[in-house]
Amino acid sequence: MAGDAPTVFIVDDDDNVRASIEGLLKSVSLRCASFGTAEEFLRSKRPDVPSCLVLDVSLPGVSGLDFQRQLSAAGIQIPIIFVTGHGDIPMTVKAMKSGAVEFLTKPFLDHDLLDAIHQALDRDRATRRQQSDSTELRKCYEALSERERQVMGLVVSGMLNKQIAFDLGISEITVKIHRGHVMRKMHAESIAELVRMASKLELPLAKK
């Protein structure tokens, strides 16, 4: 299987449940890794690939819901599918409000689990794309000179070249040159796109 293949992690203290889920995932060519406790999962070396976590609510030591909060607090973003033998509505609501993809009660249907897993993997792929885009955008912005950043801030605030020139005490031709550099380095096709980039970067708008 390819090294960048998505991975489904399973954390459940029931050996039979883990074996059953592993068998199901292997039957549809999904890579998986299983653990009996939350601590084992945290100690494992996890590949940097799209992934999700099938998590039992009732675990030895920390509960599944508490573990969900710990992962969030630690900045570990992984879509979670809860499975439990004795779920109730308040528990389900709590898990879903905290970002769980699905909450399945044992015994669950194979296709329900697979549907939830595919949904979770799609969510993680989207999150990873957004993070990658944000990282690349930040790199482009950091490649700008200090003057180019000043010009970009004034451009996205809606100022004209002559206004920017007056504000910065430089010539209008110099502003046009810096503006061209900004557009090229940021890979922006239009001012509207540059404005969207500034918004994603959460740059403060310059006062006109």
Q: What is the pLDDT along the chain (208 residues), one digit of tens a residue?
A: 455 789 999 999 999 999 999 999 999 999 999 999 999 999 998 889 999 999 999 888 888 889 999 998 888 889 999 998 877 777 788 888 878 899 998 889 999 999 999 999 999 999 999 888 899 999 999 999 999 999 999 999 999 999 999 999 999 999 999 999 999 999 999 999 999 999 989 887 665 5
Rounded to two decimals, what is the model's pTM?
A: 0.70
Q: What is the pLDDT of residue 63?
A: 86
Q: What is the pLDDT of residue 61?
A: 82
- Check the CA dihedral 169-174-176-180 and report its sign: negative
34 and 9 Cβ atoms separated by less than 8 Å: yes
Strand (E) or helix (H) holding 51: strand 51-56
Q: What is the pLDDT of residue 55?
A: 95
Pairing of strands 80-84, 102-105: parallel
Give Cα 174 distance to the centre of its chain. 40
- Token code pair at residue 56: 């039992």
